[in-house]
Chain A
Amino acid sequence: MLFYQLVTWQVIYWCSRAYTAYQQSMGLEMNNHWIFNIQIPLELLLLIIATCYFFKDKLSQRLAIISYTLFLLTVILQLKLSGPTAFISYGVVVAGIIVTTLYTLILYKQFHSDHLAWIQSPVIWASTGLVIYFACNIPYFSMFDYLNTKHAALSEKLFHFITDVLANIRYLFLAIAFWLLRKNKSALYRSAS
């Protein structure tokens, strides 16, 4: 199930990327922020599903559902107030708070229960990467609308300076997590054989 969700998300993500690249190459001054409005809810949904897989208990799953509902309400409210093509910056901020909270809880649980050393735990690396990305993006995205309308050049600079750097940190940490996962798995196979 998770595999198909990931595949669907990837297809949508790469379609939106291709469309954005086409717009940029044509020099069209179009508002393409709405494309992110498709990606962000899907991304948050996948991240919340992952937390549900991790926690398994009903209370945490309820918390995850409530969080996602809150996020959707924020998105709907913003789209109603600013129009359907507006970028869901408030949604991104709410998503940042949700992901930071849930993944800090994962870190807490993992640090208090993991038998592996923290440096070898894929969950700790992946969660740290996600928390850094989502938490540190909150100040920028909370001022995103203001900056975009009043200081567009500065906003673009900040986007590259903050979001791009954080995204690289996030994916670096995720890459380490996946590498550790593979390493641990092959070590397990070696010890079993």
Chain B
Amino acid sequence: MTQENSQILLAIICSTLLILLLIAIVIIVLFISGRQKAKQEMEMTQAKLSYEQELRKVETEVKEQVMGQFAHELHDNIGQLLTAMHIQIENQKIDHPALAEGLKPVEFYLGDVTRQLKLLSRTLNNDYVGQIGLFQALHTEVDRMNLLRRFVVHFPEVEGKTNLDRNSELMVFRIFQEITQNALRHSSAKNLYITIDNTANGFEMSVRDDGKGFDAKHMLLSTKGSGLINIIKRARLSGLSCDISSKPGEGTLFTLKKIPTLT
């Protein structure tokens, strides 16, 4: 091989190797910048998530406070007025015995209103759930729902305590209220079945209605499903998962489950 040939060979091979080296550098740089971008995105997502969690926490606290105030107002103010009305009717019955028969239905309805108001006041009060426990609070709410006579709520007797903390219990209760309100307003159901599976480490509550149902997947993707998405987000905030399954004509099933924590 002549000197010219070997020089050409060297030049071409060296430039080829140089290009190969450049490609390697470019790929390494792209890899590193890609990883950095992914890391930044992850940090941003985490910051956004914690901000959202904080926001929801504040939102829930404010909501609970307003509901508590409302419950006190119902109990102390409107409750007193209803009692005054009741006394007034009793006085009328003593003063005018002839009116006693005519006042009976009014008295009946007044009694009903007082009872429902008392139940409503209790279920709106967050201290109440903490004091008597989730299961008892659910029973009270079920009684209140049954008094409305819109559908029959089937709730087997559950005793004992859950393994959820106080905040989670309150959240489960509020979610349950939202589910039953949704069922009342939209489902046209005749029956509502509640089942609870309470074990040492787990907790699962399912609420099923036999109403008209809806396309759950479509609803969760549309703007109409913001209430349902809120339920899911609030559940997650308390370490619970909420699964919604429904199809038109097949009723709706909500499953609220405690997410197992890693030890």
Q: Which A residues lie at the B interface, using CB under 8 A?
A: 104, 107-108, 111-112, 114, 118, 128, 131-132, 135-140, 143, 147, 151, 154, 157-158, 161-162
Contact = CB atoms under 8 A, between A and B. Distances in A.
Interface stretch (B16-24, B83-91, B122-130): B16-24
A108 B30 contact: yes
18 contacts: A108-B30, A111-B33, A112-B37, A118-B31, A118-B34, A128-B27, A131-B23, A136-B19, A136-B20, A138-B19, A139-B15, A139-B19, A143-B8, A143-B12, A151-B4, A154-B5, A154-B8, A162-B13
A112 B16 contact: no
Contacts of B11: 139
Given A107-B30, A108-B30, A112-B37, A132 B20 contact: yes
B5 A151 contact: yes
Given A112-B33, A139-B19, A158 B12 contact: yes
Interface of B: 1, 4-5, 8-9, 11-13, 15-16, 19-20, 22-23, 26-27, 30-31, 33-34, 37
A36 B224 CA distance: 61
A151 B16 contact: no
A174 to B, nearest CB: 16
Given A112-B34, A138-B19, A104 B8 contact: no
Main secondary structure of the interface of A (DSSP, over half): helix
A38 B60 CA distance: 71
Contacts of B5: 151, 154
Contacts of B1: 154
A44 B31 CA distance: 26
Contacts, number: 55
B33 A135 contact: no
Main secondary structure of the interface of B (DSSP, over half): helix
Given A108-B30, A111-B34, A135 B12 contact: no
B23 A132 contact: yes
Given A107-B27, A158-B9, 5 more contacts: A140-B12, A140-B16, A151-B4, A158-B12, A162-B12
A91 B98 CA distance: 114
Nearest to B4: A151
B212 to A, nearest CB: 31
Contact of B23 (A135, A143, A157): A135
A158 to B, nearest CB: 6
A111 B16 contact: no
A132 B5 CA distance: 25
A111 B8 contact: no
A151 B33 contact: no
A166 B203 CA distance: 61
Contacts of A161: 13
A111 B27 CA distance: 9
Contacts of A131: 23
A144 B12 CA distance: 11
Contacts of B15: 139
B44 to A, nearest CB: 15
Contacts of A162: 12-13, 16
A166 B16 CA distance: 10
Choose among A138, A139, A151, A162 the residue with the greatest number of B CB atoms under 10 Å from its CB.
A139
A104 B9 contact: no
Contacts of B31: 111, 118
B22 to A, nearest CB: 8
B167 to A, nearest CB: 34
Contacts of A154: 1, 5, 8-9
A111 B20 contact: no
B8 A151 contact: yes
